[in-house]
Amino acid sequence: MESLEQKISAAVTEAMPLAKSVFETLARDTADPAGGVTRASYGEGEQYAHGLLARTARELDLEVSADPGGNLYMTLPGRDRTAPAWFVGSHLDSVPKGGNFDGAAGVIAGVTALRAIQHAQITPARDITVMGVRAEETGSWFSGSHGGHLGSRMALGLIRPEEFEQAIRVDSGRPLGEHMRECGFDPEAVRGKPPHIDPRRVKGYLELHIEQGPVLERRGIPIGVVTSIRGSSRLPDARCLGAYNHSGGTPQELRQDAVVATAELIQAVDGKWQEVNAAGKDLVFNFGRIYTDAKIHSLAKVPGEVSFSVDIRSGEPDVVAMMREFVLRKADEIAARRNVRFELGRFGVSDPAVLDAGLRRDLHAGCHALGISTLDIASGGGHDAQEFVKAGIPAAMIFVSNDHGSHVAEEAMRLDDFELGTRLLAWRLARED
């Protein structure tokens, strides 16, 4: 008798022309004249993508609906329609001039998996709903005071009422609520009604996404099982203040040199990273911006001020907390020794989301059964999955190898790797448990 693995692998291969066709149509019809694709959150490209996926789902005889926030749901009914359902999803918006795969790959993988389950003539034990999430790329599209991941947070009841007015689309200058209404959705209903997704009615959430970093690509491994979505602690506007002085005439030991002090802080964090990394813990850090004052600085002047940013991320909450402590303590120590002052500001903190251990074990078992080589990997970027974690829903993520990073037109996922990820997804969904 044919094994589940054999059936699913064959069925996904059979469904791949569908995936390929949707990817191509989406790329063509949301192409940006300046390169890449542009699918604005609650804008033209995202609307088109939702329409395309809904049409595709209807052609597959899936049940299609949307919530008041505009999130799309495409459901393959299971045998027990009252049992908590699987949710599979990702977002359909993109950054401006972005790549075709970031987000869309997860929705297309979901629909392809459902098609494969149909091909394999399997009726799943419970409903499987593929979700096309709205407005995930909020870092690119919305300024103002909002909590990001607007679409999934609306579906899960995590959005604050004021965000509909306070999130401002950067291209139009108008609030989220207006853009939602223009697309035919209803911010009042989102605010007024219970959340569309009731966590008690969800078995689990699975999201396939391209890896945004280079780890899988460099190691030649097609699929990653995500351990956690890194939390961050950020100092967007840190400064070091010393004193400007003649650089030739001021002895080194009498200087209050903001650049040397800040360089020491950066080096100290790098040294700490080496220690944490060697201990097998997850950590990245970034001093993405650093600048002396262009109106005052000069070659021959001791730098009296430097501005910089700090971004510390880890999948492990205790590691981020420890690093915050480290930065504060080290800055104090350097300031005292070098006679400067650090004005770091307050850390902006977002907590890491640890993905469900049981689902991660399932995905590893699936990779083993399907002969897919895989790797545990932390996600550096944020994803809708972390909102499901916050809502108390077991969630897991499958990363697909991708070259050139994400948020760029050049992102490059191979369909062969996507196929392996979709097999893994379909395999888990088709299982009886």
Which residues form the interface with a second copy (CB under 8 A)? 139, 211-215, 218, 230, 232, 234, 236, 245-254, 257, 259-260, 262-264, 266-267, 270, 273, 277, 283-292, 294, 297-303, 306, 309, 311, 313, 379-382, 405-407
Closest distance between a second copy and the C-beta of residue 18, in Å? Answer: 29
Q: Which is nearer to a second copy, 70 or 242 (CB)?
A: 242
Helix (H) or strand (E) holding 144: strand 142-144
Q: Are 192 and 340 in contact (CB under 8 A)?
A: no
Q: Are 208 and 400 in contact (CB under 8 A)?
A: yes
Q: Give, as one character, the DSSP assignment of residue 98.
A: B
Closest distance between a second copy and the C-beta of residue 334, in Å? Answer: 11
Closest distance between a second copy and the C-beta of residue 310, in Å? Answer: 8
Q: Which is nearer to a second copy, 69 or 99 (CB)?
A: 99
Closest distance between a second copy and the C-beta of residue 350, in Å? Answer: 11
Q: Which is nearer to a second copy, 9 or 379 (CB)?
A: 379
Q: Which is nearer to a second copy, 217 or 356 (CB)?
A: 217
- DSSP letters along 184-253, please? T--HHHHHHSPPSS-GGGEEEEEEEEE-SSSHHHHHT-SEEEEEEEPEEEEEEEEEEE---EETTTS-GG
Q: Give, as one character, the DSSP assignment of residue 254.
A: G
Q: Name, in order, each residue with C-beta under 8 angstroms of 417's C-beta and a sequence gap of 6 or more.
A: 222, 223, 400, 401
User: Among candidates 266, 141, 282, which has minimal Cα distance to 149?
Assistant: 141
Query: How far is it, in rounded angstroms, from Cα 101 to Cα 399?
Result: 12
User: Among candidates 149, 277, 221, 152, which has minimal Cα distance to 399?
Assistant: 221
Query: How far is it, in rounded angstroms, from Cα 344 to Cα 354?
Result: 28
Direct distance between the N- and C-terminal alpha carbons of the chain, in angstroms, rounded to an integer: 20
Closest distance between a second copy and the C-beta of residue 235, in Å? Answer: 9
Q: Which is nearer to a second copy, 297 or 324 (CB)?
A: 297
Query: How far is it, in rounded angstroms, from Cα 130 to Cα 179?
Result: 24
Closest distance between a second copy and the C-beta of residue 418, in Å? Answer: 18
Closest distance between a second copy and the C-beta of residue 208, in Å? Answer: 16
Residue 388 identity (one-letter amino acid)? F
Q: Which is nearer to a second copy, 155 or 413 (CB)?
A: 413
Closest distance between a second copy and the C-beta of residue 382, in Å? Answer: 8
Residue with tokens 């966590």: 199
Q: Are 413 and 224 in contact (CB under 8 A)?
A: no
Q: Which is nearer to a second copy, 25 or 247 (CB)?
A: 247
Q: Which is nearer to a second copy, 260 or 385 (CB)?
A: 260
